[in-house]
Amino acid sequence: MNFKLESTAIQTAVAGLKFRTQAFINGTFADAVSGKTFVTENPATGRPIARIAEGDAADVDCAVKAARAAFESGSWSRRKPAERKQTLLRFAELVEANAGELALLDCLEAGKPIADCVNIDLPDTVACLRWHAEAGDKLYDRVSPTGPENLALILREPVGVVGCVVPWNFPAQMVAWKLGPALAAGNSVVLKPAEQTSLSALCMAGLAAEAGLPAGVFNVVPGFGPTAGQAIGRHPGVDMVAFTGSTEVGRLFLRYAAESNLKRIILECGGKSPQVVLADPPDLDLVAQNVVNSAFWNMGENCSCGSRLIVHQSVKDDLLDRITKLAGTWTVGDPLDPATRVGSMIEKPHLEKVLGYIAAGKADGAKLALGGRQILETAGGYFVEVTIFDEVTNAMKIAREEIFGPVLSVIPFATEAEAVAIANDTNYGLAASLYTRDLNTAHRVARAIRAGTVSVNCYSEGDLTTPFGGFKESGFAGRDKSIWAHEQYTELKTIWMQLA
Ligand code: NAD
């Protein structure tokens, strides 16, 4: 990291920041074809940060053509995997060398606490790029068990031009989750960052070029969803879209594909993840720490946020007391302050949405146990208190819909079967955690919960070796991270040969 996590050093680093604000297409930074720009805002102050090129269908078309030409040229797609690895490792090294700047960009645009950006987001971003770079030259294709008259090769080939459309909650990290495996497999990429958080993606584009990635292999088109995002989804020259974002927009990509060229669509969408605390939890302080972290880390703007605490009635009051005390110590404040645990909501409409859910919780009869108000209005930003509702039923709106804010619903239960039924009574299935001292219960409940990742006696998304993605409306057809992510950016080809 190129600055210390200390207020003066951070302010100096912010003052020295330079922003990349143009689109990156075919190895060159350029204005949007229309010449239009849009303002990116600091959600902690409500003040503008920069004007960004507003890409639309015309820019997407240029980027897709560049990506296609690069793919067909073989400059990357047919390069030896070991050579691709070297370039991607150089890229990861440059991202690491510039991690301080990237952390600041994500902090400023997304309102995320700087300590999290520095200690979690950027190290994970670098590790992800390295993991997939390293995996690329260690994968073997297969030979099918035919008789002696034939030879059948089962090969993995890059899909071609991959569109990546990503959200604002982990800006640099989401780029790495898509880019790492897509590039390692030999594809060309057209990436659209969320309109709220374009700066780290544009900075990474410059670093990729510096690392030696050929022109056209990685393009970034900043812009809005209905224009630039839709253009990627509908473009006949795009072979696949890897999307992370809301379930609502994920559905649109399935429609775009159906109405255009049947491009492959991989969706990583929202969640309403349960945290199930059975009657025999391990140390309750440890459970409380994990529950609070799961619910409030990244302001609850986290797809795997454990927003429903489903807790056995015999331990509920004790646990709620500990959680409330602990959550009260999570300082809400200026994301640039290294002591801040909870930054701002991403933008004003989102703050209003979160406050609307809090009002719905009260109206539906849930009991407010902590927080519940907008705060720090004088800063000009969009801050909300860490909020806990007790006496929630799973039928209430706050228990059914993804709030994407720091709001935890506490739902009591009496039997294990009831706990599993409540945990699964949701359209989502991204993540879950459970707490018990009994190994048999742990296995039984972990298998019964319908979610892509179930963590036992902790809150975790696993690590780079484990696939991440959702059941039900949390995802579609794929996984991020791990070797499975790598595979999803490839096509299977059979070459069947007659030998005699
Ligand atoms: P969003 O769906 O609003 O936007 C995601 C991306 O889609 C953005 O780049 C946006 O510009 C684009 N987009 C918006 N409308 C579009 C349209 N009509 N056509 C094409 N593209 C369009 O999501 P968000 O608010 O940026 O992110 C929050 C959501 O992301 C939450 O639901 C969260 O759970 C989810 N998420 C999921 C994961 C995961 O791994 N499953 C990870 C992070 C976030």
- pLDDT exceeds 90 at position 286: yes
225 lines ligand 1 (CB under 6 A): yes
405 lines ligand 1 (CB under 6 A): no
Closest C-alpha to ligand 1, atom 13: 225
Domain ranges in the chain are: 7-269+474-494, 274-463
Q: Which helix (H) or strand (E) holds 429?
A: strand 428-429
- The DSSP 8-state label assigned to residue 264 in this structure reads E
Distance, CA of 76 to CA of 219 (rounded, Å): 14
| pLDDT, tens digit, 9 for 90 and up, residues 349-386 | 999 999 999 999 999 999 999 999 999 999 999 999 99
pLDDT of residue 29: 98
Closest C-alpha to ligand 1, atom 40: 268
Task: Determine how β-strand 161-165 pairs with β-strand 188-192.
Answer: parallel
Nearest-atom index, ligand 1, CA of 268:
41
- pLDDT exceeds 80 at position 245: yes
Degrees to nearest 5, angle at CA 211 with 210 and 213: 95
Q: Which of 249, 352, 453, 476 to mutate to test the pocket of ligand 1 (most atoms within 8 A of CB)?
A: 249
CA of 365 to the centre of ligand 1 (A): 31
Closest C-alpha to ligand 1, atom 22: 225
pLDDT of residue 205: 98
Domain 7-269+474-494 and domain 274-463 have a common topology: no
Task: Tell me, yes or no, if 203 is annotated catalytic.
Answer: no
On whether the CB atoms of residues 179 and 201 are closer than 8 A, the answer is no
Fold classification of 7-269+474-494 is Aldehyde Dehydrogenase; Chain A, domain 1 (3.40.605)
pLDDT of residue 2: 74
Q: Is residue 1 very low, low, confident or very high in pLDDT (cuts 50, 70, 90)?
A: low
Task: Tell me, yes or no, if 303 is annotated catalytic.
Answer: yes
CA of 34 to the centre of ligand 1 (A): 25
Amino acid at site 478: G
pLDDT of residue 3: 83
DSSP letters spanning 371-417: --SEE-GGGTS-EE--EEEES--TTSHHHHS---SSEEEEEEESSHH
489 lines ligand 1 (CB under 6 A): no
* Catalytic-role residue among 107, 117, 303, 305: 303
349 lines ligand 1 (CB under 6 A): no
pLDDT of residue 500: 81
467 lines ligand 1 (CB under 6 A): no
Nearest-atom index, ligand 1, CA of 249:
2
Q: What percent of the chain has pLDDT over 90?
A: 99
214 lines ligand 1 (CB under 6 A): no
* Catalytic-role residue among 54, 96, 195, 268: 268
CA of 246 to the centre of ligand 1 (A): 4
Nearest-atom index, ligand 1, CA of 271:
34
301 lines ligand 1 (CB under 6 A): no
Q: What is the CATH number of domain 274-463?
A: 3.40.309.10
397-420: burial string, b at 16+ Cβ within 10 Å, e else: bbbebbbbbbbbbbbbbeebeebb
- The structure tokens listed for 351 are 């703050």
Residues 6+ apart with CB under 8 A from 74: none
CA 463 from centre of chain: 14
pTM of the model: 0.98
- The structure tokens listed for 307 are 């927003």
300 lines ligand 1 (CB under 6 A): no
- pLDDT exceeds 70 at position 65: yes
